[in-house]
């Protein structure tokens, strides 16, 4: 705390104002110890208090303070310190928090560090791959990792000359994140995870290399491998060690984000995956676009869009059958993904027959039309692993009548006496 107080005092001394060190320490101690205010917020509050006391305009103060002495990422060493950085935006991540404008990774020749730009900073959007001078940013620490906070006192200036980015990210203790089980992952932390690729999903977003499910003996989690990470592709059914990944949250659920400081190591073992089964009963009220007869890339198994794979370009696709269904129980709706095997079993329509139908009609849409005609409006019980809004269906059973037990379950769910 004394070091932080001395840092604040030094900044005022540059303006010819000698703020008593004990006054600064007293206010910091009250905020941090008594009111449990985070160190960087306490530092900002105390600084602003003395700015007001001595009638110093904030803009003038922070602009003058920002005349760089530049800090290298590897030299960031104190929670709550202010810094000026020249760095490249190595990666931008998806962000859902209403108070955050952008989040991702900054890099220079010494390393990589996570950054958060708050909406109240009211700064122009940063571009991935571009280099900037960041003035008056604040360093925070979370789960043993330093982070850069860009706030309303910060400024950003685009550079013409690109900054070279070195490997790794900077942490106060070690460069390799702690090995954690999937069930123990929480948003905001860095981690190393061992798991099996349970499923790869089709992906049409150019910024994503791969997305899917990773599982271990404690559970299953969604992962995203960004194209800008420049990491190798993983294969469904194989086990891997994912080092230095970031855990984000979406709608209260943890997700793995691979980034420029992550690495992927294939393991020579078959990791056991624990999955929980979810069962849902309802009427099939819709079959969504992207169902029926589709084509997949022979290399990565992604669904093709207009004859092209997002990763491998124009390819000779392989036919597949699937259903993206919406079920309605009367009190809720549920999306379900039904694979080729179950689609054939449910409809009696084989893949070869579907291909022949499409060829005769010169339109693969006839297969989707047939599925809708035969399935929509009927009741089904589906079971499988639930992830986000989807059930990945392992079994589906048509229900031609409502037995007493099932009716009682529905009434209970609807809270009908």
User: How many CB atoms sit inside 10 A of residue 299's CB?
Assistant: 11
Output the pLDDT for position 300.
63
Are 400 and 337 in the same domain?
Answer: yes
Q: How many domains are contained in the chain?
A: 4
Nearest to 47 by CA among 98, 82, 99, 92: 82
Are 303 and 387 in the same domain?
Answer: yes
Q: Kindly state the DSSP code that residue 303 receives in the 8-state scheme.
A: B
Alpha-carbon distance of 206 to 136, in angstroms, equals 33
What are the beta bridge partners of residue 243?
Answer: 263
Question: Angle, nearest 10°, between helix axes 39-53 and 21-29?
Answer: 130
Cβ neighbourhood burial of 414 (10 Å; 0-12, 13-18, 19+):
exposed
Are 259 and 233 in the same domain?
Answer: yes
Provide the token pair at 135.
Answer: 């003035």
Residue 173 lies in a domain: no
Domain end (from 266, 300, 322): 266
Output the pLDDT for position 98.
75
CATH number at residue 191: 2.40.50.140
Are 78 and 58 in the same domain?
Answer: no
Alpha-carbon distance of 403 to 199, in angstroms, equals 35
- CA dist list (Å): 163 to 70, 135, 158, 362: 13, 16, 11, 53
Output the pLDDT for position 233.
92
Are 359 and 398 in the same domain?
Answer: yes
Provide the token pair at 314.
Answer: 């124009």
Average pLDDT, 10 consecutive residues per value, the chain (417 residues)? 81 85 90 79 86 82 61 83 89 75 88 88 90 91 81 90 74 64 83 91 74 89 86 92 85 80 91 81 92 83 73 79 93 91 94 94 93 94 80 87 58 54
User: How many CB atoms sit inside 10 A of residue 289's CB?
Assistant: 9
Containing structural domain, residue 111: 73-158
Instruction: Please report which helix (H) or strand (E) contains residue 148, including its range.
Output: strand 145-150
Output the pLDDT for position 7.
78
Output the pLDDT for position 320.
92
Q: Are 337 and 393 in contact (CB under 8 A)?
A: yes
CATH number at residue 409: 2.40.50
Residue 283 lies in a domain: yes
Are 243 and 131 in the same domain?
Answer: no
Output the pLDDT for position 74.
83
């Amino acid at each position: 705390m004394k070091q932080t107080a001395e840092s604040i005092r030094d900044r005022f001394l540059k303006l010819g104002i000698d703020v008593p060190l004990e006054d600064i320490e007293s206010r910091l101690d009250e905020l941090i110890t008594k009111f449990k205010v985070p160190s960087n917020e306490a530092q900002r509050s105390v600084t602003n208090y003395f700015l007001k006391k001595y009638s110093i305009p904030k803009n003038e103060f922070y602009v003058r303070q920002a005349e760089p002495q530049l800090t290298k990422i590897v030299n960031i060493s104190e929670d709550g310190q202010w810094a000026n950085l020249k760095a490249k935006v190595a990666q931008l991540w998806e962000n859902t928090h209403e108070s955050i404008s952008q989040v991702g990774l900054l890099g220079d020749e010494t390393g990589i560090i996570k950054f958060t730009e708050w909406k109240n900073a009211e700064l122009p959007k940063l571009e991935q791959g571009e280099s900037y001078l960041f003035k008056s940013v604040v360093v925070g620490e979370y789960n043993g990792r330093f982070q850069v906070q860009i706030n309303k006192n910060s400024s950003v200036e685009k550079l013409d000359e690109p900054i070279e980015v070195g490997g790794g990210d900077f942490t106060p203790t070690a460069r390799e994140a702690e090995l954690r089980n999937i069930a123990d992952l929480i948003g905001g932390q860095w981690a190393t995870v061992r798991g099996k690729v349970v499923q790869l999903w089709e992906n049409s977003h150019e910024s994503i290399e791969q997305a899917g499910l990773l599982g271990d003996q404690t559970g299953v989690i969604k992962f995203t491998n960004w194209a800008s990470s420049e990491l190798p592709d993983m294969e469904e059914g194989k086990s891997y060690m994912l080092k230095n990944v970031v855990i984000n949250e979406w709608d209260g659920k943890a997700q793995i984000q691979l980034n420029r400081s992550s690495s992927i190591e294939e393991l020579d073992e078959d990791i056991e995956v624990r999955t929980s089964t979810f069962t849902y009963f309802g009427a099939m009220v819709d079959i969504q676009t992207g169902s029926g007869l589709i084509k997949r890339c022979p290399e990565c198994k992604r669904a093709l869009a207009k004859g092209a794979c997002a990763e491998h370009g124009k390819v000779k696709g392989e036919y597949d059958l699937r259903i993206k269904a919406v079920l309605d129980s009367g009190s809720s709706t549920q999306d379900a993904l039904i694979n080729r095997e179950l689609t054939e079993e449910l409809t009696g329509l084989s893949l070869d027959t579907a291909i022949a139908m499409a060829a005769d009609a010169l339109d693969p849409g006839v297969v989707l039309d047939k599925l809708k005609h035969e399935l929509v409006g009927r009741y089904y019980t589906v079971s499988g692993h639930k992830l986000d809004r989807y059930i990945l269906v392992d079994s589906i059973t048509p229900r031609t009548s409502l037995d007493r037990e099932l009716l009682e379950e529905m009434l209970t769910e609807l809270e009908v006496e």
